[in-house]
């Protein structure tokens, strides 16, 4: 710690002063200026509808300047106001902005139009896990594939919990696949930040995936996420949820009774390791649950089922996924089957709503924007510095002529009048002069 302080103190003196006088600092300021440029609907090209969110459609979009593709989640202003969803929308935006994880969808831009607030997110073309579990042949996955996804979800939860965020809505439809077959956690509308040393309560989530302590409305921290991971791993292997059967109507009260009281059953599809992990994650008592005994995600990663997973390589994106989506396929229901949102009636937008809109529509998110500049090679193309350490023309302020001083209003008005009357004066003089001759 002391050595770090010494290095910091040294760098903050002459080296930093030299940097401020260098062309590298000028180039840094150019990039920061570009990063802070306003973001509007004209920043993007809009493409087809991908699906529906809680407050509006989700469409594919492309940044005009770089060609990078994203998903644009539209939150209709009137629909938000009618459902009193302001705090939920702002909470999701702020959490997405805070988390920078390979395993959680990334917020790159946030802007507004006349009718909607728009969150521009990572585009995930591979569909969601629910589609892959139930609509790609026999329900469920082989164990190797299920374990790979469980490992990536574990890493995503670890990144969220590191920021003291509990997700609370882990289920197959919220886990999306990218072009390379890797997953990201999406839809953070129910996620919430838990201050250090505190607990929260709230019966929120999806029936069948809510932990016993949530169903009982008890206080908790991160335990519901590890329970939901157990539910999801079970569903990926078995091809159905542990506490409710697909397409079979069962009352909410009955599902909650099963969650609180009944042990799940395991078929021959489960290896001993898979059965062991599910049982440890689905412990009714959160104090006995894997992931809740002090070491969080490290406890889960240490389970024998993950012995073949190198988590450091996984976190670096260096492991190949067991399934690579076909770029020509569409892994979702037909777009024509996506129900249209009805028109919101009886709601009027007011000037006082602008304060909320300004908190959401904040423009670029720095890290994702910088990554976009690198990935699309805009940084490489524009960040030209001479090899001989001479200053590039666009940074050589000394060779540029000084801009003319700005004129005041009176100067501009009188200047315009003089320029308009000048030809008349010249003509008059010429006439009188020739007459005198």
Structure tokens at 68: 């990078």
Separation of alpha carbons 396 and 24, rounded Å: 12
Q: Which of 132, 140, 127, 292 is nearest to 225 (CA)?
A: 292
Per annotation, catalytic residue among 159, 169, 187, 225: 169
Kindly state whether residues 275 and 349 are assigned to the same domain.
no
Strand, helix or coil for residue 332: coil
Q: Which of 311, 330, 349 is the last residue of a domain?
A: 330
Known active-site residue 169: yes
pLDDT band at 437 (very low <50, low <70, confident <90, very high): very low
Give the DSSP letter string of 258-322.
HHHH------TTS-HHHHHHHHHHT-SSGGGSTT-SSSTHHHHHTSGGGTT--HHHHHTT-SPPS
Domain that holds residue 49: 41-124+339-378
Kindly state whether residues 91 and 162 are assigned to the same domain.
no
**229 close to 171: Cβ distance less than 8 angstroms:** no
pLDDT at 425 over 60: no
Average pLDDT over residues 272-295: 95
Q: Which has the higher per-residue pLDDT, 16 or 335?
A: 16
Kindly state whether residues 104 and 138 are assigned to the same domain.
no
**Is residue 421, in this structure, part of any structural domain at all?**
no
Kindly state whether residues 120 and 136 are assigned to the same domain.
no
- Was 77 annotated as part of a binding site? no
Q: Which of 198, 73, 151, 97 is nearest to 307 (CA)?
A: 151
Kindly state whether residues 209 and 314 are assigned to the same domain.
yes
The sign of the torsion formed by the CA atoms of 349, 350, 352, 358 equals positive
pLDDT at 432 over 50: no
**Is residue 407, in this structure, part of any structural domain at all?**
no
pLDDT at 163 over 90: yes
Structure tokens at 20: 């401020």
**Is residue 286, in this structure, part of any structural domain at all?**
yes
Kindly state whether residues 92 and 153 are assigned to the same domain.
no
**Is residue 357, in this structure, part of any structural domain at all?**
yes
pLDDT at 434 over 70: no
CATH number, residue 93: 3.30.200.20
pLDDT band at 435 (very low <50, low <70, confident <90, very high): very low
Cβ atoms < 10 Å from Cβ of 431:
9
Structural domain count of the chain: 2
Backbone angles phi, psi at 31, to 5 degrees: -65, -40
Backbone angles phi, psi at 205, to 5 degrees: 135, -160
**Is residue 414, in this structure, part of any structural domain at all?**
no
Kindly state whether residues 175 and 226 are assigned to the same domain.
yes
**Is residue 397, in this structure, part of any structural domain at all?**
no
Q: What is residue 48's predicted lDDT score, i.e. its pLDDT?
A: 87
Kindly state whether residues 299 and 167 are assigned to the same domain.
yes
- Looking at every residue in the chain, the average pLDDT score rounds to 87
């Amino acid at each position: 710690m002391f050595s770090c302080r010494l290095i910091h103190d040294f760098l903050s003196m002459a080296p930093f002063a030299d940097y401020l006088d260098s062309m590298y600092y000028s180039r840094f300021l150019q990039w920061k200026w570009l990063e802070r440029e306003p973001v509007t609907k004209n920043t993007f090209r809009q493409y087809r509808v991908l699906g529906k969110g809680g407050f509006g459609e989700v469409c594919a979009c492309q940044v005009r300047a770089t060609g990078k593709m994203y998903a644009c989640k539209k939150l209709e202003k009137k629909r938000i106001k009618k459902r009193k969803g302001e705090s939920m929308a702002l909470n999701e935006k702020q959490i997405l902005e805070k988390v920078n994880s390979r395993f959680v969808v990334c917020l790159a831009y946030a802007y507004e139009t006349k009718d909607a607030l728009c969150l521009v997110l990572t585009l995930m073309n591979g569909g969601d896990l629910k589609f892959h579990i139930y609509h790609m042949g026999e329900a469920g996955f082989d164990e190797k594939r299920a374990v790979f996804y469980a490992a990536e979800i574990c890493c995503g939860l670890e990144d969220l919990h590191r920021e003291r965020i509990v997700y609370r809505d882990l289920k197959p439809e919220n886990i999306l696949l990218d072009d390379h077959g890797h997953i990201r956690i999406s839809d953070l509308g129910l996620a919430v930040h838990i201050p250090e040393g505190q607990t929260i309560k709230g019966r929120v989530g999806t029936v069948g995936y809510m932990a016993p302590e949530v169903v009982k409305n008890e206080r908790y921290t991160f335990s519901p996420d590890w329970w939901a991971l157990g539910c999801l791993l079970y569903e990926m292997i078995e091809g159905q949820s542990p506490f409710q059967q697909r397409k079979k109507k069962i009352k909410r009260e009955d599902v909650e009774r099963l969650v609180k009281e009944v042990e799940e059953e395991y078929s021959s599809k489960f290896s001993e390791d898979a059965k062991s992990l599910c049982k440890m994650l689905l412990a009714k008592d959160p104090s006995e649950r894997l992931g809740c005994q002090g070491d969080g995600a490290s406890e889960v990663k240490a389970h024998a089922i993950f012995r073949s997973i190198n988590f450091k390589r996984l976190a670096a994106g260096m492991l190949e996924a067991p399934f690579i989506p076909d770029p020509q396929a569409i892994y979702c229901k037909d777009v024509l089957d996506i129900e249209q949102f009805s028109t919101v009636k009886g709601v009027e937008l007011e000037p006082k709503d602008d304060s909320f809109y300004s908190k959401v529509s904040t423009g670029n998110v720095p890290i994702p924007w910088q990554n976009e500049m690198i990935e699309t090679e805009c940084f490489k193309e524009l960040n030209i510095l001479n090899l001989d350490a001479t200053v590039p023309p666009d940074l050589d302020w000394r060779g540029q002529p000084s801009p003319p001083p700005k004129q005041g209003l009176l100067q501009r008005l009188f200047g315009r009048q003089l320029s308009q009357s000048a030809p008349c004066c010249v003509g008059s003089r010429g006439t009188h002069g020739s007459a005198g001759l």
